């Protein structure tokens, strides 16, 4: 099942950062010396990011949007759709049993009724495969592969990228964006763009600095989404941070020279600044992106200490450009929704879903200012 494999999208990063068992916590209440909850203001954007894999998660998505998110005070839901939608323009880009346009419309109506902003997401540039497990776009269109000669089964290979300079790529993916924007009646779109490690390999891109290639890709997407479609563009922020300078490491920040792109992109992009560990507990990126004139949306995951500290810094650095807090999940949406509803979660030997559920609850409470 696609979602199962996608569980590990950020697994390597998380494992490195969490140091294995150090990342496990019980999620129970703990004594605190913080101020009473009522003293803390509500952060404006309180979001959750989940996989929207297809028909198998549709009931869970309905429950999430219609009941769970409102009960947690969450007002933004980012749906990582990718191949989970029945595209008409390029039907070959859908996985089996995808969400239909009617499903999307139903979710959009539910969200509207609950005053929730629903944001479709399509991973752009990177994350076109998980190792050798190729996503639907490159599976159907290998001509878009940036590095077809690389062996995805080789040690250290992470995810395939598409070629941002392929002459047919942009109109192709913009067709997909159009369908998602229309079906979900969206006013914002998330383009992913995290953990891009393969750049500058093909004959079109070779010799161009990675920062230029990355900025070019961002600007192309921005021209279409913001310029033409007039929607908000959101993206993950890791490639715009200097790993050496921030101390975040090569997953949460860039050690492959993409980071100077931060000065080459429009200021109206919303940067989803994800950090799941405590490699740098000062979380300097929250201030950094604001100083660059960009809106920053801090995004945490499953470690109590990290979530608490991250939101503490976010509140301390809070200005007009600091948007709130985004809970990420990275495990099966069906299980997350069950857990958030208070039902028993089926645990696996890998990621502890219970910790993710607890992380979402804690993040939502801290973002509302209602957790101790
Ligand atoms: Zn290329």
Q: Are 277 and 299 in contact (CB under 8 A)?
A: no
Q: How far apart are CA 21 and CA 119, in angstroms?
A: 33
| pLDDT digits 0-9 by tens, 277-303 | 999 999 999 999 999 999 999 999 999
Nearest residue to 359 via CA among 79, 48, 63, 3:
48
- CA 32 / ligand 1 centre spacing (Å): 51
- CA 292 / ligand 1 centre spacing (Å): 28
Residue 48 phi, psi (nearest 5): -140, 140
- CA 92 / ligand 1 centre spacing (Å): 22
- CA 125 / ligand 1 centre spacing (Å): 10
- CA 161 / ligand 1 centre spacing (Å): 9
- CA 217 / ligand 1 centre spacing (Å): 11
Band of residue 9 on the pLDDT scale cut at 50, 70, 90 = very low
Q: How far apart are CA 188 and CA 324, in angstroms?
A: 16
Q: Say what the pLDDT of residue 38 is.
A: 54
Band of residue 130 on the pLDDT scale cut at 50, 70, 90 = very high
Q: Are 146 and 138 in contact (CB under 8 A)?
A: no
Is the pLDDT assigned to residue 18 strictly greater than 70? no
Nearest residue to 333 via CA among 14, 128, 145, 55:
55
- CA 196 / ligand 1 centre spacing (Å): 13
- CA 294 / ligand 1 centre spacing (Å): 27
Which residue's entry shows tokens 């499903």?
A: 103
Which residue's entry shows tokens 């995951």?
A: 301
Q: Say what the pLDDT of residue 347 is.
A: 87
Domains observed in the chain: 39-368 (3.20.20.80)
Q: Say what the pLDDT of residue 12 is.
A: 38
Q: How far apart are CA 149 and CA 212, in angstroms?
A: 23
- CA 166 / ligand 1 centre spacing (Å): 6
Q: How far apart are CA 149 and CA 228, in angstroms?
A: 35
Beta bridge partners of residue 134, listed in sequence order: 129
Q: Say what the pLDDT of residue 153 is.
A: 97
Q: Are 160 and 82 in contact (CB under 8 A)?
A: no
| pLDDT digits 0-9 by tens, 205-251 | 999 999 999 999 999 999 999 999 999 999 999 999 999 999 999 99
Q: Which stretches within 223-268 are classed as H helix?
A: 243-246, 249-252
- CA 49 / ligand 1 centre spacing (Å): 29
- The model's pTM is 0.91
- CA 177 / ligand 1 centre spacing (Å): 21
Sign of CA dihedral 79, 82, 83, 88: positive
| pLDDT digits 0-9 by tens, 30-45 | 445 555 545 799 999 9
| pLDDT digits 0-9 by tens, 80-102 | 999 999 999 999 999 999 999 99
What would the two tokens of residue 242 be?
């200097």
| pLDDT digits 0-9 by tens, 308-327 | 999 999 999 999 999 999 99
Q: How far apart are CA 95 and CA 82, in angstroms?
A: 9
- CA 240 / ligand 1 centre spacing (Å): 20
- CA 146 / ligand 1 centre spacing (Å): 5
């Amino acid at each position: 099942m696609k979602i199962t494999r996608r569980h590990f999208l950020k697994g390597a990063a998380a494992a490195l950062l969490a140091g294995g068992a150090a990342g496990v916590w019980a999620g129970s209440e703990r004594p605190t010396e913080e101020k009473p909850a009522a003293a803390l203001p509500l952060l404006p954007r309180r979001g959750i990011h989940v996989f929207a894999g297809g028909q198998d998660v549709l009931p869970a998505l309905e429950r999430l949007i219609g009941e769970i998110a409102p009960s947690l005070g969450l007002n933004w839901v980012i749906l990582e759709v990718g191949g989970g939608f029945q595209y008409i323009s390029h039907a070959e880009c859908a996985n089996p049993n995808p969400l239909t346009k009617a499903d999307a419309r139903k979710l959009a109506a539910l969200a509207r009724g609950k005053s929730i902003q629903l944001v479709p997401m399509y991973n752009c540039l990177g994350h076109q495969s998980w190792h050798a497990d190729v996503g639907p776009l490159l599976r159907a269109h290998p001509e878009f592969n940036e590095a077809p000669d690389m062996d995805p089964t080789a040690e250290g290979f992470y995810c395939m990228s598409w070629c941002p300079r392929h002459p047919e790529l942009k109109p192709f993916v913009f067709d997909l964006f159009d369908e998602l924007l229309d079906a979900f009646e969206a006013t914002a779109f998330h383009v992913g763009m995290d953990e891009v490690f393969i750049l500058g390999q093909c004959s079109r891109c070779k010799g161009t600095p990675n920062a230029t290639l990355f900025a070019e890709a961002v600007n192309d997407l921005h021209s279409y989404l913001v310029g033409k479609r007039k929607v908000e563009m959101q993206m993950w922020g890791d490639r715009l941070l200097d790993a050496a300078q921030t101390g975040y490491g090569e997953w949460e920040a860039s050690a492959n020279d993409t980071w100077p792109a931060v000065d080459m992109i429009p200021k109206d992009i919303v940067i989803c600044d994800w950090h799941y560990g405590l490699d740098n507990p000062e979380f300097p990126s929250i201030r950094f992106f604001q100083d660059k004139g960009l809106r920053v949306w801090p995004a945490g995951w499953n470690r109590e200490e990290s979530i608490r500290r991250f939101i503490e810094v976010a509140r301390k650095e809070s200005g007009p450009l600091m948007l709130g807090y985004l809970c990420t999940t990275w495990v099966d949406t069906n299980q997350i929704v069950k857990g958030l509803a208070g039902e028993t979660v089926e645990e696996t030997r890998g990621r502890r879903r219970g910790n993710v559920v607890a992380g979402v609850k804690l993040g939502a409470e801290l973002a509302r200012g209602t957790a101790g």
